[in-house]
Chain A
Amino acid sequence: MSDGPILEVRDLRVELPLSRGTVHAVDGASISVAPGQAFGLVGESGCGKSMTLRAIMGLLPRPGHIVGGEVLFEGEDLVTASPGRLRQIRGGSIAMIFQEPMTALNPVMRVGDQIAEAPQVHLGLSRTSARERALDLMRRVGIPDPVRRARAYPHELSGGLRQRIMIAIALSCDPKLILCDEPTTALDVTIQDQILKLLLNLRREFGVSVVFVTHDLAVVAETCEQLAVMYAGQIVETGSVDEVFRAPRHPYTLGLLRSVPDFDSVQDSLASIQGAPPDLVMPPPGCRFHPRCPFAQEDCISGEFPLRPLSAGRATACIHPDAPAADVERMPVVADV
């Protein structure tokens, strides 16, 4: 069990039937997360990364549903699991942290009770011992004076403290995997840094795997070991963070890296990727990035573009993977995002 991946998503496909047509929100995404690993899932808004996360949890917003693929958690397929089994796994083995801690906490429930709730349900703890556990968790996520804070309502706490409460809730049942949906996007930059460091420390302390879904490459650079880049519902590049950042092998990854502001060399305008992400009701044929790609060639316009392995642990969907690599040599991407 320990050597296999803790989470493996294979060829996941999610569709949202809307009145103007079916949105192919996730179209054949595959990722693999090793035990104890920090994994980053990166992409623009609307690329399907949050949908992937919610599909893993089996909590897709209506009318979205999974039309194909597998979500293997410790070898068990969650797509076909019964609702009762899913409920056991959710909160018990897999926990989730949300983007906006204000709305993700129940406004009329004391935060201490919110932390203590899942242990009562999943671990069968009594009220008193669940309370004890909540206080202990609050201490471990760095909340000062937990006894008093436990009695507070969410609106009485600052954004940073609220996100710490969310983290405490996520940790409350000793999960093996934590899914973070843009965990720091709603926070001030200084608080972001604190929360990321906290998550990293806790990951080491609890030995838990973490999946970060984010559009912020800086977050990935700081926290993750492995990453997958998502574009228009598909994974376009995977690899270790070091390698991908040093030598991106997909033009979209290159574009993302280039569009991170570099404060060491201030320029007039921020580099951006031309064009807009495609409409997922009718995605462009061939490589989905080709209409925006500076390296696009004739053969990019049609055909299938699955991930092709490059070397151990690296894969790209680009059929001209050397083009972005060569471009990096000419004009390196910012050294340390």
Chain B
Amino acid sequence: MSVAAADAFVEAELTERRHGFRSRWYRTPAFVAGIVIVGTVLGLAILAPVIAPYDPTKQDLQNILQNPSGKHWLGTDQLGRDVWSRMLYAARIDLRVGFLAVLLPFLIGTTLGAIAGYYGRFGDTIISRLAEIVVAFPFYVLVIAMVFVLGPGTRNIYLAVTAVGWVSYMRIIRGEVLVQKRQEYTLAAQAAGLSNARIIIRHLIPNVITQAIVFAMSDIVLDILLIVTLGYLGLGIQPPTPDWGTMIADGQTFLTVKWQLSTIPGMAVVITGLGLSLIGDGLADLLRPE
């Protein structure tokens, strides 16, 4: 059989490209750097109860506003609480809320986007108009208004972010599905008698989900910033639970005397955001179809 000739060629190609992602990820500097940064922050957050030298909420009014020292690595705040311990515990809550606040919009947006893109017609009209209503308001204003109405706290932050955040995922997935459903493989799947649900879940979603995953990485950054902003406005995580936003807000009163109180949590936000953005960029490179 003369397939043999073509075969030898395919053979070489196969072995080279087979494990494309697995063999290339460590050669993408942005991705590696992002993993290292986020991994470190995540590790510190997880190990907080073990490595934090003090209880993050324990006040010590004898030793307020101390400079960094061997006893308190990053000093103490206006209530004498150890800043380093508070930073570690704050990472726990901020990262958790950041990741979870992305999960629900991701799932809802992807589902609605796939439905709108695949079926079109009436469902598409309703979903798209709904999305337009949501984006007609500025993101922060809407979330802040919702948290204000619902009351502060993590559960209400999730609700508010979900109510607004699904729109981005819906639009990304809808656009991609519109393109992919015109591809012949969708027609081939229909011609093979597969159900619409199966075509969407098994054939279309795997082809379009990359874009949403990459966006989710930068969305986590936005959500962490949002929580920090809400915390700064007093609508976020309620004291005494430590959180970077509240720490920045509390510290600004002492900005002229103890600049590190606001700056250190600010730096943590920047570094975490940078790490997540780098992962997003790296993923976009790695998952780009060949």
| Alpha-carbon gap, A122 to B4, bound state (A) | 33
Question: Interface digits, A12-36 against B, CB 8 Å rule (1 contact, 0 not)?
Answer: 0000000000000000000000000
A-B pair number, CB within 8 angstroms: 96
Q: Is the CB of A104 within 8 A of B192?
A: no
- Which residue of the partner chain A has the closest CB to B207? A108
* B192/A155 in contact, CB under 8 A: no
Q: Is the CB of A117 within 8 A of B202?
A: yes
Q: Are B203 and A109 in contact (CB under 8 A)?
A: yes
Residue pair B3, A144 in contact (C-beta under 8 Å): yes
Which of A90-98, A127-135, A269-277 sits within the interface?
A90-98
Known contacts A103-B183, A109-B202, A190-B2; A117 and B289 CB within 8 A of each other: no
Q: Which of A82-116 contact B (CB under 8 A)?
A: 86-92, 95-96, 98, 100, 103-109
A126: Cβ under 8 A from any B Cβ: no
| Residue of B1, B6, B191 touching A91 (CB-CB under 8 A) | B191
Residues of A within 8 A of B203 (CB): 106, 109
A103 near B184: Cβ-Cβ < 8 Å? yes
> Which residues of A lie under 8 Å from residue B14 when comparing CB positions?
148, 152, 156
Given A104-B184, A108-B207, A194-B3, CB of A57 within 8 Å of CB of B191: yes
- Flag if A117 contacts B1 (CB, 8 Å): no
Q: Nearest residue in B to A154 (C-beta to C-beta)?
A: B185
Contact B290 A155 (CB under 8 A): yes
Asked if A156 contacts B202 (CB within 8 A), the reply is no
Residue of B nearest to A191 (CB): B6
CB-contacts of B175-194 with A (<8 A): 183-185, 187-194
B206 located at the interface, meaning its Cβ lies under 8 Å from any Cβ of chain A in the complex: yes
Please tell me the size bucket of the interface on B: 20 to 34
Contacts of A122 in B (CB 8 A): 193
A169 to B188, CA, bound (A): 10
A152 to B16, CA, bound (A): 12
Q: Is A45 at the interface (CB under 8 A from chain B)?
A: no
Q: CA separation between A120 and B278, bound complex, in Å? A: 41
A152 CA to B17 CA, complexed, in Å:
10
- A156 and B184 contact, Cβ closer than 8 Å, known pairs A91-B192, A118-B192, A142-B3: no
B280 to chain A, nearest CB (A): 20
Which of A157-165, A209-217, A293-301, A317-325 participates in binding chain B? A157-165
Contact A105 B2 (CB under 8 A): no
**In the complex the two chains form, what is the Cα distance from A8 to B185 in whole Å?**
27
User: Is B185 a contact partner of A90 (Cβ separation < 8 A)?
Assistant: no
B199 to chain A, nearest CB (A): 10
A23 CB to closest chain B CB, in angstroms?
Answer: 19
The answer, yes or no, to whether A59 is at the interface (CB within 8 Å) is yes
Q: Are A107 and B3 in contact (CB under 8 A)?
A: no
CB distance from B278 to the nearest CB of A (A): 25
Q: Which residues of B contact A57 (CB under 8 A)?
A: 191
A160 to B2, CA, bound (A): 11
A175 to B74, CA, bound (A): 73
Q: Assess the A87–B206 pair: CB atoms within 8 A.
A: no
Question: Contacts A104-B185, A107-B185, A108-B206 known; A90 to B10 CB distance under 8 Å?
Answer: no
- The reply on A310 being an interface residue by CB < 8 A is no
Contact A160 B3 (CB under 8 A): yes
Is A121 an interface residue when CB atoms closer than 8 A count as contact? Answer: yes
Could you tell me if B190 and A90 are in contact, using CB atoms closer than 8 angstroms?
Answer: yes
Contact check, A87 vs B188: say whether CB atoms are below 8 A apart.
Answer: no
Q: Does B122 contact A (CB under 8 A)?
A: no
Q: List residues of chain A with CB within 8 A of the CB of B10.
A: 156-158, 161
Which residues of B does A touch, CB under 8 Å?
A: 1-4, 6-7, 9-10, 13-14, 17-18, 183-185, 187-195, 198, 202-203, 206-207, 289-290
Q: Provide a sorted-by-A list of 13 A–B residue pairs whose CB atoms are within 8 angstroms.
A: A107-B207, A107-B289, A108-B207, A117-B192, A117-B202, A118-B194, A121-B192, A142-B3, A148-B14, A156-B10, A160-B6, A166-B188, A169-B188
A-B pairs with lowest CB-CB distance, top 3: A91-B193, A90-B193, A91-B192
Extra 12 A-B pairs, beta carbons < 8 Å, given A108-B289, A161-B6, A194-B1: A88-B193, A90-B193, A91-B194, A98-B184, A103-B183, A103-B184, A109-B202, A122-B193, A152-B14, A161-B10, A166-B188, A194-B3
